[in-house]
């Protein structure tokens, strides 16, 4: 056995963040940072998460197909690592598809399950490898899991999203019954594959069910109608076979324990016969012969197999059901799906007390280091389709009307490594958005394709990016641009919200200057035409006060220190008057971090899932009801697209959750809030709450990233290049010259006019 020490396996005792090892031939092999979150189902892994304190979490992860030897080795290594760290770590045993919320919190972008393992000669995917052909089944609304399945049309179902990864082309296929939020999450996952696995060198395609391209049909081989489900019953007095549902995905509630069923998978040379545990003897005897007769009636090959199933359902069988729950899985109160007398499924109450067993994590993912050591940071702003260097004196300032490229180079005693962060402001133009993606790939190419790419949307900055500015806060301006002669002038009154994250990185975000934006746990800097204030909430930290000094230095002037409760009249006047704001005592005492849960019955029954990791406003699913636990109060947030079952079931679930808490919180107030009408006591738990966030459809914005959304400026570049080749002759006719001039002028004017309107410029 390989004993843990500082000198082997790449182990770093005090390095904050996540370290991952794979068990290979009963030894530990370090998994590179850019491959974190990808697990082979035939392997076992050991993970160590270290906080800055330091404190430790040790996880041993076991794939469904890992061997007993690998499982035993993982347990031994976990014990050795625990001993080496003084017995203080918390240990977790993780099993594929049943991981703890703490574990899932390390991988906010989702996790991938890949077929194979060490024993079968599989090694982790090489970045930029375009020789890929795989199908990923994407599931989850809070914790995203992508499982590699057989590249066959039979792997698909109507209720989920799938990613067809062909290396240079990545297709997101959306079933006709998958939800809006699932589409958003699957799209983000596809973008992450393009950015992290291909370093931006792949095209994204969005495909709806029924609109499959020739390439998809070719690669999935057996393209046919999705399998139907039939019932074998003698309820009418004679044995009959009737159609339950024409196409998958089916609901598990369609299977009555008193009947037998045929699931038609004949295109894959097999059909399933499912025998209910309470079916009568005659039906069970008739099941096999009915299956064989069905093969003849359908004209399937005589080599088609009949697979009898009774209580030991295979993975292939269960994949035809969108909501399959194995015995003892938690479900919630909702009406079961019924068709006549077929579905006789007992209601299984959701045990809200189980939510208390999920430990709240302060885990942050993506910390390759603490942003210190031998490092180099270079930042460019995207401008006119090119990248313009930023003055190092303004590093750390990001404007909502811009896009930026941040190159982080580090090499702690070893080969130099690189990360390219592409930061995209919420008010930048689509042209800049497209150009930022193009320039990222261009920069990556110039460095030999070695950097890791990370795409960041304003307000979703990862902790490592926030830590790059050596003790200074990351300052995010509401809009505007850092370029000279920018398109807008800063407001005369400005308010910056300063908060320290769980990773100890500090961010100052400009918000609307309004009294309701204040938060008793944080620090705010208020700039008016005649004064400058630093407001300190009762629960604010010294680190947040220190960060405020950098904001004050940027704004200029001498600041007046203001304590919560002792504000002068001109302070409130500048904010439009005194208004209610977040004053929760639990924020001041920090008894426990807040927890966010999603309530959804998209699978047919109401289930509750915790949002892993540090949550943000974008985790609020508009087609769900969410429960926010802030320790001394419970909020039930109702999304505008949630359904009646979710709206009525979630408050009951929240009450059961509180009443069953072993810490004795029975009777806590439960407040219901509606999307778009959130009070400050709710929004204060989300840094830099954006009241306009849902004005723009997130899925529509994501679609623009996919193929078929070239910006006007990029179209202009391509069109002009095409013109150059079409009119390459030195001897053009007068008519051809006229056509070329008119076409070029028309394209140029169209782009300039659009940029002009978006920037509110007076000239272009």
Q: Which helix (H) or strand (E) holds 387?
A: strand 386-389
Instruction: Please work out, in degrees rounded to the nearest 5, the angle formed at the alpha carbon of residue 307 by the alpha carbons of 288 and 279.
Output: 50
384-406 average pLDDT score? 90
The residue count of the chain comes to 764
Query: Residue 602's pLDDT band (boundaries 50, 70, 90)?
Result: low
Looking at residues 281-294, what average pLDDT do you find?
Answer: 77
Average of per-residue pLDDT across 521-543 = 92
User: What is the distance between the alpha carbons of residues 294 and 276, in angstroms, rounded to a whole number?
Assistant: 19
Note the pLDDT of residue 550: 92
Residue 292 has pLDDT above 70, yes or no: yes
257 has a pLDDT exceeding 90: no
pLDDT tens digits for 668-682?
777 888 898 887 778
Per-residue model confidence as pLDDT tens digits over 304-317: 777 777 666 776 67
User: Is the pLDDT reported for residue 462 higher than 60?
Assistant: yes
The class of domain 134-222 in CATH terms is alpha beta
Residue 59 tokens read as 């996880």
Structure-token pair, residue 605: 């029954």
Enter the tokens of residue 93: 């045993």
What's the pLDDT at 760?
A: 37
* CA neighbor of 666 nearest in space, from 366, 233, 353: 353
Q: What tens digit of pLDDT does each residue of 549-559 get?
A: 999 998 988 99
Question: For residues 247 and 755, what is the distance between their CA atoms, to the nearest angstrom?
Answer: 48
Residue 347 is predicted with a pLDDT of 32
Residue 234 has pLDDT above 50, yes or no: yes
**Beta partners for residue 497, in sequence order:** 509, 524
Cβ-contact 152, 220 below 8 angstroms: yes
Mean pLDDT across the stretch 634-661? 85
3.90.1150.10, 3.40.50.880, 3.40.20.10, 3.30.565.10: CATH of 358-472:
3.40.20.10
Average pLDDT for the chain: 76
Closest CA to 539 of 498, 571, 596, 595: 498
Compute the Cα dihedral for 613, 615, 618, 624 and give only its sign. Answer: positive
- Reported as a single tens digit per residue, the pLDDT across 199-221 is 778 889 999 988 888 888 878 76
Lowest mean pLDDT among 109-118, 293-302, 550-559, 650-659: 293-302
Tokens of 63: 């794939």
pLDDT over 90 percentage in the chain: 18
User: Residues 290-306: what's their mean pLDDT?
Assistant: 76
Higher confidence at residue 525 or residue 723?
525
Q: What is the mean pLDDT of residues 411-437?
A: 82
Asked if pLDDT for residue 534 goes beyond 70, the answer is yes
Between residues 541 and 585, the one the model is more confident about: 541
Task: Indicate the class that CATH gives domain 490-583.
Answer: alpha beta
Q: How much is the pLDDT for 44?
A: 94
State the pLDDT at residue 369. 53
**All residues at 6 or more sequence positions from 686 whose CB lies less than 8 Å from its CB, including other chains:** 615, 616, 617
Q: What is the DSSP string of 428-440?
A: --HHHHHHHHHHH
Mean of pLDDT values over 691-699? 80
Under the banding of pLDDT at 50, 70 and 90, the label for residue 404 is very high
CA 496 to centroid of chain Cα atoms: 27
Between 176-190, 398-412, 474-488, 686-700, the lowest mean confidence (pLDDT) is in: 474-488
pLDDT category, 700, cuts 50, 70, 90?
confident
Task: Report which of 376, 424, 414, 377 is spatially closest to residue 396, judged by C-alpha positions.
Answer: 377
Whether the ω angle into residue 54 lies within 30 degrees of 0, i.e. cis, is: yes
pLDDT band at 593; cut points 50, 70, 90: confident
Identify the architecture of domain 593-684 in CATH. 3-Layer(aba) Sandwich (3.40)
pLDDT value of position 202: 86
Domain with CATH 3.40.20.10 in the chain: 17-120, 134-222, 229-319, 358-472, 490-583, 593-684
Sheet hosting strand 56-62, strand order edge to edge? 27-30, 17-24, 44-50, 56-62, 90-95
Report the pLDDT value the prediction gives residue 659, as an integer from 0 to 100: 80
In this predicted structure, what is the pLDDT of residue 757? 37
Main-chain dihedrals φ then ψ at residue 533, nearest 5 degrees = -120, 145
Contacts of 254 (CB under 8 A, 6+ apart): 229, 244, 245, 337, 339, 342, 343
**Which has the closest alpha carbon to 195: 420, 20, 509, 524?**
420
Answer yes or no: CATH 3.40.20.10 is held by domain 17-120: yes
List the single range of 251-260, 276-285, 534-543 with lowest mean pLDDT.
276-285
Query: pLDDT digits over 465-474, tens only?
Result: 888 887 788 9
Instruction: Please calculate the CA angle 376-377-378 and round it to the nearest 5 degrees.
Output: 125
Assigned CATH topology for domain 229-319: Severin (3.40.20)
d(CA 660, CA 141): 25
pLDDT-derived band at 545, boundaries 50, 70, 90: very high
654, pLDDT greater than 60: yes
What does the pLDDT average to over 411-432? 81
pLDDT, tens digit, for every residue of 719-754?
Answer: 444 455 444 444 555 555 555 555 555 444 444 333
Q: Which two tokens stand for residue 495?
A: 């308010």
Q: Check residue 328 and give its pLDDT.
A: 43
CB 560 within 8 A of CB 530: no
């Amino acid at each position: 056995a390989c004993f843990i020490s500082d000198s082997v396996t790449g182990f770093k005792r005090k390095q904050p963040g996540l370290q991952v090892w794979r068990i290979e031939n009963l030894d530990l092999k370090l998994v590179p940072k850019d491959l974190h979150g990808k697990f082979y189902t035939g392997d076992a892994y050991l993970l160590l998460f270290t906080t800055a304190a330091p404190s430790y979490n040790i996880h041993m992860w076991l794939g469904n197909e890992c061997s007993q030897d690998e499982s035993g080795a993982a347990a031994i290594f976990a014990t050795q690592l625990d001993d080496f760290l003084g017995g203080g770590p918390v240990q977790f045993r993780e099993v594929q598809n049943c991981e703890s919320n703490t574990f899932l919190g390390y991988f906010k972008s989702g996790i991938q399950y890949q077929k194979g393992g060490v024993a079968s000669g599989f090694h982790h995917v090489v970045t930029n490898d375009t020789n890929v052909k795989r199908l990923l089944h994407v599931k989850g609304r809070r914790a995203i899991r992508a499982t590699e399945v057989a590249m066959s049309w039979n792997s698909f179902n109507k209720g989920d999203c799938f990613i067809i990864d062909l290396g240079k082309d990545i297709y997101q296929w959306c079933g006709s019954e998958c939800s809006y939020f699932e589409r958003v999450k699957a799209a983000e996952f596809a973008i992450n594959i393009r950015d992290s696995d291909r370093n931006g060198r792949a095209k994204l395609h969005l495909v709806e069910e029924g609109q499959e391209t020739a390439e998809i049909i070719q690669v999935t081989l057996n393209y046919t109608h999705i399998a139907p489900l039939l019932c074998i019953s003698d309820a009418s007095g004679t044995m009959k076979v009737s159609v339950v549902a024409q196409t998958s995905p089916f609901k598990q509630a369609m299977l009555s324990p008193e009947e037998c069923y045929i699931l038609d998978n004949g295109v894959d040379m097999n059909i399933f016969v499912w025998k209910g545990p309470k079916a009568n003897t005659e039906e069970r005897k008739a099941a096999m012969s009915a299956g064989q007769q069905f093969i003849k009636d359908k004209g399937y090959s005589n080599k088609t197999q009949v697979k009898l199933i009774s209580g030991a359902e295979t993975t292939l069988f269960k994949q035809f059901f969108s909501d399959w729950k194995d015995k003892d899985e938690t479900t919630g109160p909702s009406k079961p799906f019924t068709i006549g007398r077929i579905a006789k499924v007992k209601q299984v109450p959701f045990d809200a007390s189980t939510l208390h067993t999920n430990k709240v994590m302060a885990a942050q993912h993506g910390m390759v280091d603490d942003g210190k050591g031998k490092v180099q940071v270079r930042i460019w702003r995207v401008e006119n389709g090119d990248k313009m260097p930023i003055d190092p004196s303004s590093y750390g300032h990001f404007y909502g009307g811009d896009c930026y490229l941040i190159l982080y180079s580090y090499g702690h005693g070893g080969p130099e490594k690189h990360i390219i962060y592409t930061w995209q402001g919420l008010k930048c133009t689509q042209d800049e958005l497209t150009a930022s993606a193009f320039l990222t790939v261009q920069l990556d190419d110039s460095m030999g394709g070695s950097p890791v790419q990370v795409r960041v949307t304003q307000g979703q900055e990862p902790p490592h990016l926030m830590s790059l500015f050596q003790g200074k806060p990351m300052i995010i301006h509401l809009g505007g641009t850092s370029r000279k002669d920018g398109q807008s002038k800063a407001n005369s009154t400005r308010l910056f919200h300063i908060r320290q994250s769980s990773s100890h990185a500090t961010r100052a975000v400009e918000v609307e200057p309004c009294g309701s934006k204040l938060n008793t746990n944080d620090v705010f800097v208020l700039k008016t035409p005649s004064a400058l204030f630093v407001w300190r909430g009762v629960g604010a930290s010294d680190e947040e006060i220190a960060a405020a000094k950098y904001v004050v230095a940027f704004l200029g002037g001498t600041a007046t220190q203001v304590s919560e409760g002792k504000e002068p009249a001109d302070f409130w006047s500048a904010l439009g008057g005194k208004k209610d704001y977040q004053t929760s005592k639990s924020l001041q005492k920090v008894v426990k971090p807040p927890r966010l849960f999603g309530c959804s019955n998209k699978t047919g029954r109401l289930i509750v899932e915790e949002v892993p990791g540090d949550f943000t406003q974008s985790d609020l699913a508009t087609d769900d009801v969410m429960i926010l636990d802030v320790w001394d109060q419970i909020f039930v947030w109702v999304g505008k697209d949630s359904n009646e079952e979710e709206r009525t079931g979630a408050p009951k679930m929240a009450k059961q959750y509180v009443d069953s808490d072993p810490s004795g919180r029975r009777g806590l107030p439960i407040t219901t809030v509606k999307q778009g009408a959130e009070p400050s006591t709710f929004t204060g738990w989300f840094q830099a709450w954006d009241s306009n966030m849902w004005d723009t459809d997130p899925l529509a914005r994501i679609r623009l990233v996919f193929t078929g959304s070239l910006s006007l400026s990029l179209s202009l570049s391509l069109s002009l290049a095409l013109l150059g080749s079409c009119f390459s002759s030195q001897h053009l006719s007068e008519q051809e010259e006229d056509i070329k001039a008119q076409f070029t002028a028309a394209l140029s004017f169209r782009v300039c006019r659009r940029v002009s309107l978006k920037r509110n410029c007076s000239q272009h």
